[in-house]
Amino acid sequence: MTVYLIMLAISLFFASCAGRLRGMQEYRRNFRVCAVLSFLPFFIVSAIRFEVGTDWSIYDRYFYAINEGTDQFKERIFNLLNKAVYVFSSDSQLFFAVTAALSLIFVFLAIYKHSVYIPFSILLFFVSTIYFNSLNQMRQGLAMGIFLFAFRYIEKRDWKKYFLWILIGAGIHLSALLFLPLYFIYGWKAELKKHLILFGAILVFMPVLKVVLIKVVSLTPYAWYFESLFKQNDFLLAGFLISFLILVLHEYYNNVSDSEEDTSYSFMVNMQWLSTVVLLCTGFIPQVSRISSAFEVIALLSVPKMVLREKNRNRRIVVYCIVTLLFVVRLIYYVYICGFFHVIPYKTFFSR
């Protein structure tokens, strides 16, 4: 973990510098340099890794299989990306570097475009495990980065550009299609009463929903999960509790804060609610936590917004600490106790 912490510290240092220069026209060049320097530590660590990430070996094998014509993914754009990289090098290490660059570029562009507190968003990218997940589920990580980047077009109500980016994301990982309907819920006010009623209804009808959802998933290409080593019957309690607490904070500052009405923040609260509700299905739908993670990516932008809705400086510091601690607890639980992602020990290709 030492390598990751050094990476984070360097990135946060330059992100803090960029944050101070943000909006100053005379320092625009310095701002861009600091932004790039905050990106590079994450990129370098991701690019030179070797056998780091649960699915690393799968992507390594597919890189050669795709270019030998013996196997391929369902998503054509991702297959084309493999082939394009192969033109320059038959070593899969370049492919991992290119994929890492694309995934991180989209995330950092979104953060620098939308975040109200850049360093905190980068910290959340790390402690929320979204970064570590991108080292594992590379295709979905890239698709999530594309959504975060394309969020600007939801705000601008530019459906053509938004749908185009999401379809590109779907060509990398089909889970990106989950983001298409989100365009239409933008503008829906996040209301605590409605969320509580819906949440209660889901709990009451869960036995029926369980049967229906299992039947629906069994009719999709993902039915094989039920007979695979990914099958699990354990409810992801720790993940749900932490997600629920984060949601509670979102709801509180959406209803109690005296901040002006913020359509974007309301949209983000709705996404956080969706992310939390999906986790209720972790006990009977294998890998459904991946859908929750897809919705949770908005936390990189929503949590800084949420914290800044607290006008009292001392309480705001407390909220910063609470949120960070919750994510750190989950990171430790996922990475060290459960062994998710397989990102430690960290190794580089120099050790091959």
Residue 23 makes CB contacts below 8 A (sequence gap 6+) with none
Write out pLDDT tens, residues 29-82.
899 999 999 999 999 999 999 999 888 899 999 999 999 888 889 899 999 999
Can you give the pLDDT at residue 35? 95
Mean of pLDDT over the chain: 90
DSSP string, 101-168: HHHHHHHHHHHHHH-SSHHHHHHHHHHTSHHHHHHHSHHHHHHHHHHHHHHHHHHTT-HHHHHHHHHH
Can you give the pLDDT at residue 18? 93
Burial category of 141 from C-beta neighbours within 10 Å (exposed 0-12, middle 13-18, buried 19 and up):
buried
Write out pLDDT tens, residues 224-241.
666 666 566 678 888 899
Q: What is the CA radius of gyration of the chain?
A: 20
Can you give the pLDDT at residue 25? 80
Write out pLDDT tens, residues 72-107.
898 999 999 999 999 999 889 999 999 999 999 999
Can you give the pLDDT at residue 156? 93
Write out pLDDT tens, residues 98-138.
999 999 999 999 999 999 999 999 999 999 999 999 999 89
